[in-house]
Amino acid sequence: MLNSSKEVDVDMLIIGTGNLCANLLPLLANSEKVTNLTLAGRSRDSVIRLANLTQFTAFNLGNRSNLSTAEIDLNEIEQTAETLSKIKPKIIFMGASLQAARLITLLPKEHFEEIDKAEFGLWLPMQLSLNLNLMKSVKMSGIDCKVVNSAFPDAVGTVLSKVGLAPDIGVGNIGNIVPALTHAAAMYLGLDLHRVEIKLIASHYFTHYVHRFGNAGRAKYDLKIFVDGALLSESVDHAAIFSLLNGPLRRTGGTEGQILTASSASKILNALTSSSHIKCHAPGPLGLPGGYPVLVSKDSIKLDLAASLTQSDAIKINEECQKADGIEKIDLDGTVHFCEREVSILKSILNYECKTMKLDDCFLWSNELAAKYKEYSQQFRF
């Protein structure tokens, strides 16, 4: 329920009280473009605490944020739809999932490295389920708004697009690595940063692998570098550029690194309030697989591909890249087929085996995966 009995016109609704939203909210509360915010979550106490923390932080920085609160349980689709129809947000940021992607990083190092070989695609039901419920609620509410998703948007948006329920755009992933790659390209070329721009086509696997290991691993991708607005015609050593991310441009990751994802989200959310198009990189725009350069404004979201690359070719690159994440293909009805290699790894560790997942079964698979992971991880808790 709302913290007021009156219907209110709210510009932006943030769903979730986890680490990402905790990093994002102060950025939004201190933005001139975002005038009204509502924070919502299942736990009223968690929502109130985070909302007050945000307001007090904003006050210290000289701002008096207008932050409302609401209770939303995404498992209650009709109640969520009713709440959305009262709030009438212009933009919804989805920051909730059934299991945080970083949870496995809390395992002892050698066990994390083993389970990490199964890649992230097999954890899709944990990210997809609540998004499915949210989009059903949005449709049921009848509101006209943009939905921005932070939970594995590279794949979630594609699955939901098959049934007409895709969020409008995602954040993080490709939005996290483009700043580092731009710095790396400028360093490699010996140029000032402001002269260099990149356009990258890549899915989740690439964006996480390169910054950790300094190479592209098994990823398919397309990287184009522009200097002073012109496409660089000379040959560029991508391996040398990537290696810088594991060297002088290495960064803090994990929970402490969530501020980078929050900044990616803030850029997209602010762009969605802009009357002119803002250049961004984002995963899952318009329900497409993987990440792309995009132009974002309050009126539209559109791809910003290099002239030499067609949309069809960009999609194919990301579909191939997604296989490295363990997702073989996604059918026209939203059924997901997972890659044999990754399935076998997770089976050997968790005794969890999902080769094919129908969209309506995602909650069943998420429940089984959560139970199997809990049973496995408990041995490491002392």
Q: Which of 322, 346, 371 is the last residue of a domain?
A: 322
| Pair (165, 24) in one structural domain | yes
109 lies in the same domain as 127: yes
Looking at the fold, whether 19 and 157 belong to one and the same domain comes out as: yes
Whether 86 is covered by a domain: the verdict is yes
Q: How far apart are CA 54 and CA 23, in angstroms?
A: 9
Give domain status of residue 341, yes or no.
Answer: no
- 218 and 312 in a single domain? The answer is yes
Question: Where would I find the H helices in the chain?
Answer: 19-29, 44-60, 77-87, 109-116, 124-141, 153-161, 174-189, 204-213, 238-244, 258-271, 311-324, 340-350, 362-377
Give yes or no for a contact between 68 and 38, defined as CB atoms under 8 angstroms apart.
Answer: yes
Number of domains forming the structure of the chain? 2
Together in a domain, 183 and 316: yes
Last residue of a domain, one of 322, 337, 362: 322
How far, in Å, CA of 208 to CA of 318, rounded?
14
In a domain, 367, yes or no: no
In a domain, 356, yes or no: no
5 and 69 in contact (C-beta within 8 Å)? no
Q: Which structural domain range is residue 283 located in? A: 174-322
The verdict on 204 and 280 lying in the same domain is yes
Decide if 344 is inside a domain. no
Buried b (16+ CB within 10 A) or exposed e, 102-140: eebeebeeeeeeebeebbbbbbbbbbbbbbbbbbbbbee
Task: Read off the CATH number of the domain in which 213 is found.
Answer: 3.90.110
Q: Which helix (H) or strand (E) holds 356?
A: strand 356-357
Is 103 in the same domain as 230?
Answer: no
Residue-level pLDDT, tens digit, the chain, 382 residues:
445 434 444 589 999 999 999 999 999 988 776 668 999 999 999 999 999 999 999 999 888 777 999 999 999 999 999 999 999 999 999 999 999 888 898 899 999 999 999 999 999 999 999 999 999 999 999 999 999 999 999 999 999 999 999 999 999 999 999 999 999 999 999 999 999 999 999 999 999 999 999 999 999 999 999 999 999 987 899 999 999 999 999 999 888 889 999 999 999 999 999 999 999 999 999 999 999 999 999 999 999 999 999 999 999 999 999 999 999 999 999 999 999 999 999 999 999 999 999 999 999 999 999 999 999 999 987 4
Domain termination residue (choose one: 170, 203, 222):
170
- In this prediction the pTM is 0.95
Give yes or no: residues 40 and 130 share one domain.
yes
Task: Identify whether residues 204 and 159 lie together within a single domain.
Answer: no
> Are 218 and 237 within one domain?
yes
Are residues 180 and 140 located together in one domain of the fold? no
332 lies in some domain:
no
Same domain, residue pair 281 and 226: yes
Query: Does a structural domain hold residue 351?
Result: no
